[in-house]
Amino acid sequence: MGSSGVQVLILNGLVVTLVVLSFLVLRRAPKPPVKLDLRSDGKTPKPKDFLRAVQEELRADIDDKTPTAAIRGKFQDPRTQTARKPVGWDNYVPRNRSVYGGREMQAVQEKSLNIFFNWNGHAWDAYEVLGIPAGASLETALQAFERAKAQADKETAPFLRAAYEAIANTYTLR
């Protein structure tokens, strides 16, 4: 190695040393870890905001109960006063009732058209196995069973038969 090779080696060493020193000197101090509150819903107000909101609510509540509140129209006559609905309940209809034309009437109870059977420890929808719509007639189920059995291998035939028998047993029980 000549003098130029030594100079290149020294120059490369200086560059590497400067880069390493710059990383060590200029790096930022590590940030402290963030404490996670997994029980929080993420929407909790900060303590100052919460305190301010509670104070404003209490102040408004006190203002409504002052003797001059009745003069300002904040109170109604108790005989004509009605209960207020909770916010967001304007369109509330109980699950077992429906509103039609302003009158309440009982909702029609829905009937499930699916027929399930167990095969190999799993519940299967018989209509879905045969590839027909739920609630199809027994004749349609028989045609679908014959068509599927003709296209399927020997191992699948008992499975298809179980699906058809589940539908046939349901029709004989009706």
Cα distances (angstroms) measured from residue 85 to each of 82, 88, 89: 9, 8, 6
**Going residue by residue through the chain (174 aa), what tens digit of pLDDT does each one get?**
567 889 999 999 999 999 998 888 887 777 888 777 767 666 655 666 767 777 777 676 665 555 555 555 555 555 555 555 555 555 555 555 554 544 555 555 677 889 999 999 999 999 999 999 998 999 999 999 999 999 999 999 999 999 999 999 988 776
Reported as a single tens digit per residue, the pLDDT across 11-46 is 999 999 999 988 888 877 778 887 777 676 666 556
- 124 with 146: CB under 8 angstroms? no
* pLDDT of res. 79: 54
* pLDDT of res. 141: 93
* pLDDT of res. 21: 87
Q: State how far the Cα of 130 lies from the Cα of 141, in Å rounded to an integer.
A: 7
Q: What is the pTM of this model?
A: 0.39
Q: State how far the Cα of 137 lies from the Cα of 133, in Å rounded to an integer.
A: 9
* pLDDT of res. 92: 53
* pLDDT of res. 112: 81
Domain boundaries, the chain: 116-173
Q: State how far the Cα of 98 lies from the Cα of 62, in Å rounded to an integer.
A: 40
